[in-house]
Amino acid sequence: MKIVVIGATGTIGGAVAGLLATGHEVVPASRRGPVRVDLTDAASIDALFAAVPDVDAVVCCAASGSLSPLDTPSDADYWRGLDGKLVGQVTLARRAAAHLRAGGSVTLTSGRFTAPTPGSTLGHLVNAGLEAFVRAAAPEMPRGIRLNAISPGWVRETCLALGMDGTAGIPAADLARAYADTIEGTAHGHVITP
């Protein structure tokens, strides 16, 4: 399969791209390349599909935004994470529906918090919205194109990079297996929680 991996330079995306490359043609994409796309810019998603034809699958492991405390003074700053992670991934799925090969797949990334961590309100909202979108949009996907989301908990490498205990986190390589299984399998309209 020809698979576009958005966020391929990141912690999760790097592991996903590496695993998929063992059996597929992988096109790595992000804001800084090698193939350029910015999820906050719908025109750049259009440009991606124009530049990379005959794609079988697109997987999005891109990160955008950060924790937004509930008392963030500026509304614009509070809502910033909405653009890349929620609106961007929904736009990606809508564009992919028109451009992917028949029988292809779209795999998005949400996430889960174990508790209402301070600053995580927008993250909870975005993840819940994405997961609801995937379940509701799946039946509307045309030409046998499948739509799913992976909802990771903490990733071990991210915990270690943040100076946290990594033992509770899932290794990126194990998480990548869940993405590959979803892309290579038959799941449709599912939120997978590895």
Q: What is the nearest approach in angstroms of ligand NAP to the Cβ of residue 111?
A: 3
Binding site for ligand NAP (CB under 6 A): 6-13, 30-32, 37-40, 61-64, 84-85, 109, 111, 152, 154-155, 158
Task: Answer for the pair 106, 158: CB distance below 8 angstroms, yes or no.
Answer: no
Q: What is the nearest approach in angstroms of ligand NAP to the Cβ of residue 6?
A: 6
Q: What is the nearest approach in angstroms of ligand NAP to the Cβ of residue 180?
A: 16
User: Based on CB atoms, which residue is closest to ligand NAP, 1 or 42?
Assistant: 42
Give me the DSSP letters along 121-188. Answer: HHHHHHHHHHHHHHHHHGGG--TT-EEEEE----BHHHHHHTTS--TTSBPHHHHHHHHHHHHHS---
Cα–Cα distance between 76 and 1 in angstroms, integer? 40
Q: What is the nearest approach in angstroms of ligand NAP to the Cβ of residue 105?
A: 18
User: Based on CB atoms, which residue is closest to ligand NAP, 24 or 154?
Assistant: 154
